[in-house]
Structure 1
Amino acid sequence: MAITKEQRKKVNSIYLSSGLVSICGIVYQVLYGAVGSYLFGDGVLFYSITIGLFLMGMGIGAISSERVHNGLTDRFIQIEYAIAVIGGLSTLGAFYTLAHYGTETSQLYMYLVITLTGALTGLELPILIRKAEAIGEESRKSVARVLLTDYGFSLIGAVGFALVLRPWLGLIQTAFFIAIINISIAIWISFRFRDEIKAPAVYQLIGILLALGLMTGFLYGEKWSNGFEERLYADPIVYSADTNYQRIVMTKEPGDIRLYLDGQLQFAESDEHRYHEALVHVPMSLAEQRSNILLLGGGDGIAVRELLKYPEIQTIDVVDLDPEMTRLATEHAELLRINQGSLLHDKVTVHNADAYQFLLQNQNWYDVIIADLPDPNNEALNKLYTDGFYKLIRNHLNPGGFVSIQSTSPLFATKAYWTISKTVEASDMTVENYHVDVPSFGNWGFTLASREDFTMEQISQLELQVETDYLKEEIIPSLFHFGKDEDEDIQDNGQTFVLEANTMNRPILLKLYSDAWQYY
């Protein structure tokens, strides 16, 4: 039997609602994955958990829908309100629980949020399908069309999050914005089906009040989260921003600016000279020529400051993925003071590009290559610590040239540190290892490499050509010696740990790194 024109309008409203709630559902999924990756690290693991819990929740919701027989429109509105409250507060709650109760509690909170959102999402579609059938739509049509709008609109949500929501709104405002969409759908349905609802005015009032609360969160959530985030850092935050690639936070206390990327300390003004002098001046003192230099990472400009002490340098190519980081290093007064405006020097060319892709496409050769990259705490960074990446570095290194690579801590992450060394060695370069004490970091390690053989005798005879605040010639050989609890003879439960190279196909470094740092 054909349905009436008014019934057709209601059915079309259901299909549109299905598409809109599917956008919200997919955004919540990727949002939760992004929040977990930022707060807890290991993006693949947390995204996998997010997808698994969300789908499990959807299954629970779907089977639970069998018990919903009457008041389908009322139930749908109630579900949208519940999703809006849980989803809207999700990100802010994650920051709050992390700041006040620690990582484990925050993770449990996120697991609960993911499961509940999934369960409520799983209730939506069966109820909408059943409602369309109750109006008079044929079963085969209602199922097919609801699923069509659900799957089709999901693409809009996924792409919209990556290209629009996260870059423009950030994680916290995105959660509130999507929650407001859920509320708006429910209010609209309460008007569209008001003749079928027991108390439409009550639903509309509740929806308006919830929308006002969520709008308050949208406007002030970032400010509140900054207060929570302050508890994660020892010093007051003077700058914070979410970029397309990472979260940048800068803190300040008298005499000590500190920069954090995704929660990891990059430098402390009070002792950064120890780190950067060891990173830069050891390979620069050993290289036969010092004309053309490649710096991978180092977007804060401090390593470039050290490089510019060598007047013979003709060009310095700086490759840093995040344009916001390099912009900050050329505009922020505190960073300009520390890096001495190094990225603005006419010898320096900044390339905002992926280091791996840059090496694949670039044809230049360099006398010294310095890898000052963030630690390998996710898949994107792991590829910059693989044998394939180090082979690309080798292939851009001039004869007589040297490479230095920041390689995390040999004391706190011994297996990870020596795995990096083993991986560099697997790229057919001669390798030596050295480390330095940086109070803000602890014992920090580097890998020194060259296409040609070199000896400790050469290292012991190197002469520093520039002024330094920490490094001096007589202590450099001592940096290449390691204690028993930090050398490459690693004993693991009475067994010798066998070092392997880290590859794209087998990213063993990720687990070694995360296991080592989970308690620090």
Structure 2
Amino acid sequence: MPTEADPAGQSTPRAGRWWRPVVLASVAACAACGLIYELALLTLATTVQGGGIVATSLVVAGYVAALGLGALLAKPFVERAASSFIAVEATLGLVGGVSATALYVTFTTLGSDAASLFTLVVATAAIGMLVGAEVPLLMSLLQTGRRTGSAEAGRVLADLNAADYLGALVGGLLWPFLLLPSFGMQQAAAVTGLVNVAAAAVLLTLALRGLLTRTQTVVAGLSLVVVAALLGTLLVALDGVTEWSRAKLYPDPVLSHTQSAYQEIVVTRARYNGRTDRRLYLDGTLQYSSLDEYRYTEALVQPAMANRPGEVLVLGGGDGLAARDLLAVPGVRRVVQVELDPAVLEIARTELLEDNRGSLDDPRVEVVVDDAFSWLRRGGDGAVPPGGFGAVLVDLPDPRNAALTRLYSEEFYGLVRGVTGEGGLMAVQSGSPFSTPRQFWRTVATVDSAGWGTTPYHVHVPTFGDWGFVLASADGDAPDLRLRPDVGGLRFLDPGTLEAAGRFGRDVAPMRLEPSTLDRPRILDDARRGYER
């Protein structure tokens, strides 16, 4: 009787020399899709959970472990390799295609890190097992009708692994350079699912029909059509699903939403008692509210202006608020603004224009699109004035993930010191002494370890609560908190308020901590523990 391995009772059911290239090309395509699914989950986990070590380890280690488990679970199906492979690809396309959306909806609707972490673990395990099942099934397919020795089997395995790893490389390059910036995480995962199904359909049409009965071929084809239809429906409905989910996450109506190559950027707007409250979120984390941002911005900018700098460096602060206040300080003739994400700058020049008053387009402001750490390491690419900057403002996101911890490291503050002039001052936003006390005092210790003289201070920002900063002097002496008398138009700070900002109550008392470094980013765990509180 004909079988799947020999449906016509023949020993070699192949259709010519192109049979193996088609199989290997499908291997590469499916491997690319499998890696893209995991990159999508890892990127989304970074967005919704801050990219903690636990989530990252679960995705990476869990995926690798699931690969092995999937290979073991595939052993009973190698005798039916052709139909089993199509079933695996159909399931993988569906699970991988909807995985990012499932994680996003779970996070936004349930509001629980535990629930989204559970979804992340389940999706990672399912995708890993399905991808792991591919190799033994494909190995069986490539060996169909052959009576080979160990040397030939080794060559077949080498071809299979080469196609698999090459496909993974292609997937790894497509994700950051094409899929994520072009589609966003959820759409990219769904599109990848369609590619996955298409690759399986090509393999079925050109190479596997001879290994399946007519009924099996029809069933396999229909299953791929059904999965493609489901993914197509998801793509059509995805904007509505995302908007509905986003409304659950953000308390106010969403004015604009952008997924850049680095982060999700959301601007919301609402009216309260006749006042407009515009808010900027990066990866779901509030950056400012237009109702009270002046408190934060004045506290960051004004103490660093005490020594009357003429040229100021701003690291981060892509919303343009710090630059706005700097331009109002007498004697400031040049501001160099270094911001990583051009999408943030575009939002600042459009949706946030009313808040920053067009500061980024002022001729005194030089905008540099670059990573702050890399730019400093290169010595500022010729933008550093002779003698260094008179003041530096470090207005960067909290160290919620491993990538951001290097911007809170001893090495980073050492590089900043290298572009700061003699007697120059640096102000660093440092988190909340109340909500994330170890992060705050770790930042103080880290700045101090880089040779700066430090003076910590904190103010109340209603949107954020108690918020802290570090004023640091390049000469190594602790600087005084003082306000220049020639700065007008302030809405919050006065000499008494700034003097009081340098005092800390018993519940936020100073801690003696070791610095955070590139080798030992202690501040990442500090930030995570604080957010859990």
Question: Which amino acid counterpart does residue 323 of structure 2 have in structure 1?
Answer: V
Q: Choose which of 317, 320, 327 in structure 2 pairs with 1:298.
A: 317
SS in 1 for 2:144: helix
Residue 507 of structure 2 corresponds to 485
2:227 equivalent to 1:201: no
Task: Say whether the 8 Å CA contact 1:422–1:500 is kept in structure 2.
Answer: yes
Task: Say whether the 8 Å CA contact 2:44–2:104 is kept in structure 1.
Answer: no
The 3 A distance-change label for structure 1 pair 19 and 452 is closer
Q: How big is the shift at 1:462?
A: 5.1
Cα deviation, 1:77-135, whole Å, max 9, x if unaligned, reads 11111111111110110011112222211110110111011111111110111122123
Alignment of 1:129-140 (within 5 A): 129-136=139-146, 138=148, 139-140=153-154
Unaligned runs of 5+ in 1: 490-497
Residue 16 of structure 1 corresponds to 25
Task: Say whether the 8 Å CA contact 1:3–1:137 is kept in structure 2.
Answer: no
Task: Say whether the 8 Å CA contact 1:294–1:316 is kept in structure 2.
Answer: yes
The 3 A distance-change label for structure 1 pair 342 and 133 is same
Unaligned runs of 5+ in 2: 1-9
Task: Say whether the 8 Å CA contact 2:94–2:193 is kept in structure 1.
Answer: yes
The 3 A distance-change label for structure 1 pair 431 and 475 is same
2:267 equivalent to 1:258: no
Residue 448 of structure 2 corresponds to 425
Residue 113 of structure 2 corresponds to 103
Deviates further, 383-392 or 85-94: 383-392
Residue 90 of structure 1 corresponds to 99
Task: Say whether the 8 Å CA contact 2:78–2:140 is kept in structure 1.
Answer: no
The 3 A distance-change label for structure 1 pair 476 and 243 is same
The 3 A distance-change label for structure 1 pair 124 and 9 is same
2:242 equivalent to 1:228: no
Q: How big is the shift at 1:511?
A: 0.6
Distance in 2 between residues matched to 1:464 and 1:433, nearest whole Å:
24
Residue 129 of structure 2 corresponds to 119
Residue 192 of structure 2 corresponds to 178
Alignment of 1:498-509 (within 5 A): 498-509=512-523
Question: Which amino acid counterpart does residue 98 of structure 1 have in structure 2?
Answer: F
Distance in 2 between residues matched to 1:404 and 1:475, nearest whole Å:
17
Q: How big is the shift at 1:443?
A: 0.3
SS in 2 for 1:412: coil
Cα RMSD, aligned residues only: 2.0
Distance in 1 between residues matched to 2:310 and 2:325, nearest whole Å:
14
TM-score, normalised to structure 1, is 0.93
Residue 492 of structure 1 corresponds to none
Residue 298 of structure 2 corresponds to 277
Alignment of 1:295-334 (within 5 A): 295-332=314-351
Alignment: residue pair count: 506
Task: Say whether the 8 Å CA contact 1:95–1:229 is kept in structure 2.
Answer: no
Residue 349 of structure 1 corresponds to 366
2:391 equivalent to 1:372: no
Question: Which amino acid counterpart does residue 209 of structure 2 have in structure 1?
Answer: R
Alignment of 1:56-71 (within 5 A): 56-71=65-80
Residue 33 of structure 1 corresponds to 42
Deviates further, 131-140 or 18-27: 131-140
Question: Which amino acid counterpart does residue 397 of structure 1 have in structure 2?
Answer: T
Residue 463 of structure 2 corresponds to 440
Deviates further, 459-468 or 370-379: 459-468
Q: How big is the shift at 1:181?
A: 1.5
SS in 2 for 1:465: coil
SS in 2 for 1:251: strand
Distance in 2 between residues matched to 1:162 and 1:137, nearest whole Å:
43
Deviates further, 205-214 or 271-280: 205-214
The 3 A distance-change label for structure 1 pair 463 and 189 is same
SS in 2 for 1:245: coil
Cα deviation, 1:311-340, whole Å, max 9, x if unaligned, reads 4211000011111111221123xx111111
Q: How big is the shift at 1:5?
A: 6.7
Residue 425 of structure 2 corresponds to 402
Q: How big is the shift at 1:461?
A: 7.3
Task: Say whether the 8 Å CA contact 1:34–1:43 is kept in structure 2.
Answer: no
Residue 6 of structure 2 corresponds to none
SS in 2 for 1:258: strand
Question: Which amino acid counterpart does residue 96 of structure 2 have in structure 1?
Answer: G
The 3 A distance-change label for structure 1 pair 150 and 339 is same
Task: Say whether the 8 Å CA contact 1:281–1:464 is kept in structure 2.
Answer: no
TM-score, normalised to structure 2, is 0.91
Q: How big is the shift at 1:191?
A: 2.4
Residue 357 of structure 2 corresponds to 340
Task: Say whether the 8 Å CA contact 1:173–1:222 is kept in structure 2.
Answer: no
Q: Choose which of 289, 300, 305 in structure 2 pairs with 1:268.
A: 289
